[in-house]
A = this chain, B = another copy of it.
């Protein structure tokens, strides 16, 4: 396993691998690897000649008041985990390598960056799109692996890749959860023991919403309010948002129909947790009786 810190060295190796006809799969991360990341690496390993993992805590996707300095960094543990998954290359650049002095260029994905988490983190998805655009140019993968837990990130990156014609396929893998349903996240370690127990309400509230939809509920506002109430009554979590929207366009819905994303973000102390589910809801449309 190679560990590469230089952008130029990584890019030159990527070009060489491409010329040799190797298929390259890529898993971009901020490190602090958990079972969710591991599931991406395993799938990537099965499907590609070369597996590249990037570890880079990207300052451009943190708002000024956020947890950049405190974000968990444990490269040596991540390296051991990567080795176990037969990763071929870890790309682990410094901030200066990625953002040299007089850095001025950004990728913006309009509209879908401004809703859900974007309302609370106004420059977050610009930072995500920019760093992933850079990483795609450096690593030049055939396939990019992302986790469904970051539903809006997936939507923003898929839109960017389509619009800017990046020559890469995207695969989105299901959210990996703890036994009690809590979505895996590097930020879970910020939770106190009490908050860790309470945080299970997030997935429970999503499943409860799903059941109500399966029973016939069609009103997105009632679904959202049901989730909010369940979280507030069963935990100390502070809700940033709960939303029930079109899963592909992220546009709001009058009526629950088609591919639907139910997504939420809730604070437990210093930990801001996100979670979501996607449902495909088919409804028989009302038909006119023929006289």
Chain B residues lying within 8 Å of A165, measured Cβ to Cβ, are 7, 11, 134, 137-138
Which of the segments A15-23, A214-222, A267-275, A281-289 contacts the partner chain?
A: A15-23
| Residue interface bits A1-31, CB-to-B below 8 A is 1, else 0 | 0000001000100010011010000000000
**CA of A111 to CA of B103, assembled, Å:** 10
From A99, which residue of chain B is reached at the shortest CB distance?
A: B163
The count of chain A contact residues (Cβ–Cβ below 8 Å) is 32
Interface positions of A from 164 to 205, Cβ below 8 Å from B: 164-167
Chain B residues lying within 8 Å of A111, measured Cβ to Cβ, are 104
Give the secondary structure class of A's interface: mixed
User: What 6 A-B pairs have minimum CB-CB distances, sorted nearest first?
Assistant: A105-B163, A137-B165, A104-B110, A105-B160, A105-B109, A138-B165
Interface status of A112 (Cβ within 8 A of chain B)? yes
User: Is A107 touching B109 in the complex (CB atoms < 8 A)?
Assistant: no
Distance in angstroms from A52 CB to nearest chain B CB is 15
Given the contacts A102-B249, A249-B102, A107 and B19 also touching, CB distance less than 8 Å: no
| Residue interface bits A146-174, CB-to-B below 8 A is 1, else 0 | 00000000000001100111110000000
